Amino acid sequence: MLVRVLLLIGCLIPCSGFTENIRIGMSAAFSGPSRGLGIELYRGSRTYFESVNRSGGVNGNSINLEVLDDGYDPVRAIDNTVKFMQNGNILLLFNYVGTPTVTRILPLLRKYSDRNHLLFFPFTGAQPHRQPPYDEFVFNLRASYREETAGLVEHFAGLRRKRIAVFYQIDAYGRSGWDGVQRALYARGLRMVAEATYRRGTSFRQSMKAQVEILRKANPDAVISVGTYEPCAAFIRDARDAGWNVPVANVSFVGSENLLSTLLEYGTGRQTDYTRNLINSQVVPSYEEVSLPAVREYREIMNRFDMQPPEWLLKEQYKPLPYSFVSFEGFLNAKLLVEILSRIQGLPARDGLQQAIESMESVDLGIGAPVSFGPQKHQGLNTIYYTTVENGKFVKLDDWSRWKQ
C-alpha cells in the first residue's frame, strides 16, 4: 500500500506512469547529402519505441531515444559521443550511422571502457568495429560489407562477369567496401580492373563523368558501388547518359529508396531509364515480404505512429518514405534492443548490458532468421538479401540469369 502511494507520487512529476526513463543516445546524419539515412533509421526505431512505450514500456520503464545530428562528419560524431558520455545518464549508444563516424568514435569506447559504454547496432558494415581491438565494445545486427561485397562478387563471377570495377567513397566506408571486393576477387584469383573515387559530401548535382570515364576505359563486366545515395545516383546518371549500361551493384548503406527516388525523379521526362541494371544488396529482408511477421508489424506501427525526428533537428527539407529498408532496419534494431532490455531485471544498467546481450540465443525477430550473440559473436545476422528495380520498385532478386554472359 505504502509502496503504491510512493510510486504514484513519484510518477506524478517526471513521467506519465513509468517508473524510470531509459535514455539511449543516437548520433547520426540529419543534415547533408546522407540525411535520409539518419532520418529513416531514426523513424523505424522511434516508431517501435513509441509502440512499446504506449503499451507500458519495458518492465514499466519508458524508452527515450535522444538524438544529435553529426551530418556524417566524424569530428561532430566524436563531439556528440563525448556529450552523451559526459552529460546525462545515457544507458547506451545506439543506431550510429556511417563508417567514418563510427570508426572514429571507437577509441572513445575503448578509453571509457571502465564506464562500460557500448555501441548497439550501428548502421555500418565496416570492419574496424567487427575485429580487435574494438569489437568487444560494439554489437551489430546487420551483416558486414565484406559479406555484402563477397556475395556480389560471387554472384557476378557466377555469371562470368569477372572484370569487376569499384566506385567508392574515399574514406573508411568506401575503403571497407573496396577491401571486401578486393578480398573476394583475390580469393578467386582475380584482380580489380579499375577503381574510381569521390569525396564524402558530394551531392547529386555534381558531375561524375570523370569517374565514369576512368571505369569505362577498363571495360568492366560489373561495377560495385560503395557510396551514399546522392553521389551513387549521380554516377549512375552520368554512366547511363554516356550510354554505358553496365550492371551497377550498390551495398545496403546506399539508402536504396533514396537512390531510387532520386533516379526516378531525374528520369521523369527523360528518355533514359536510369533504374535499369541496378542491383542492391540488403542486410534485412524486403519490407514487401508481408509473409514475415516482422514486416507486418513494421508496416502496422509505421502506419499507426509514423514518428518524425524533432523539428529543431531538421534544417533541410526532407520527404519521409512510407517504408524503406533503412527504417525497417531501424525497426529491427529497436525490436532487438527492447528484447534484450526486457530480459534485464529491474532498471537496466550499463555494466549488465554486455552479459545480457551475449546470452541471447536464437531470438526470433520475425524475419525468418534467428539472432544469436555470444562473447565471440557480436554480429546478429549474416544473411544478404539481393534486390533489383522493376517498374520503379525494389523487388527480391532471385533470378540473376538476365546478366549472364
Partner 1 sequence: MIVSRLLWKTLLKLTVLFLLLAVATTLTSGWTLRSRLTEEFRSKGQAISNSVANAAVDVIISRDASSVQALIDQYGEIAGVGYVFVTDSDGQIIAHTFVPTIPENVLPLTPNQRSAAIQEIKIQGSGNHIDISSPMLAGLAGTVHVGMNRDVIEAHIRDAQRTLLLVLAVVFLVGVASAYFVIGRMTGPVGEAARVARAVSAGDLTVRIQSRSKDETGELIRSINRMTESLNGIAGKMQTSGSDLVTIAARVATNSRRMDAAMQELGAFTGDTLVSSTQISNTSQQLFRTMDDLSRLAEDSALLAAVGKEGLGRMENTVARLVDLTAQLSGSFAEMKEKTNSIGMVTTAMTKVADRTNLLSLNAAIEAEKAGVQGAGFSVVAREIRRLADQTAVSTLEIEKIVSGIQSAVSNGVDMVRNFSDEVRLSESEIRNAAQQLSQIVEKVQALSPRFEAVTQGTLSQSEGAESIHRSMILLNETAEKTARSVDEFQEITIRLEDAARILQNEVSRFRTAG
Structural contact between residues 69 and 30, judged by C-beta atoms closer than 8 angstroms: yes
**Is 174 a binder of partner 1 (CB under 8 A)?**
yes
**Is 199 a binder of partner 1 (CB under 8 A)?**
yes
**Is 148 a binder of partner 1 (CB under 8 A)?**
no
**Is 254 a binder of partner 1 (CB under 8 A)?**
no
**Is 143 a binder of partner 1 (CB under 8 A)?**
no
Residue 92's H or E segment, with its range, is strand 92-94
Q: Which of 19, 21, 116, 197 binds partner 1 (CB under 8 A)?
A: 197
108-116, 193-201, 293-301, 339-347 -> range binding partner 1 (CB under 8 A): 193-201
Where in 343-382 is the site for partner 1 (CB under 8 A)?
none
**Is 96 a binder of partner 1 (CB under 8 A)?**
no
Count the neighbouring beta carbons within 10 Å of the beta carbon of residue 65: 21
Strand partners, 169: 198
Q: Count of residues binding partner 1 (CB under 8 A)? A: 29
Q: How far apart, in whole angstroms, are the C-alpha atoms of residue 271 and residue 334? A: 42
- CA nearest to 165, candidates 184, 193, 186, 197: 193
Structural contact between residues 150 and 182, judged by C-beta atoms closer than 8 angstroms: no
**Is 70 a binder of partner 1 (CB under 8 A)?**
no
Grid look-up 550510429 returns 96
Q: Which of 142, 161, 175, 216 binds partner 1 (CB under 8 A)?
A: 175
Q: Which of 27, 103, 261, 327 binds partner 1 (CB under 8 A)?
A: 103
168-176, 243-251, 320-328, 362-370 -> range binding partner 1 (CB under 8 A): 168-176
209-217, 294-302, 325-333, 380-388 -> range binding partner 1 (CB under 8 A): 209-217
Phi, psi of 391 (to 5 degrees): 50, 40
Q: Is the peptide bond between 370 and the residue preceding it cis, with omega within 30 degrees of 0?
A: no
Strand partners, 393: 390
Grid look-up 528495380 returns 389
Could you list the residues that contact partner 1 (CB under 8 A)? 74, 99-100, 103-104, 126-128, 131-132, 170-176, 178-179, 182, 194-199, 210-211, 214
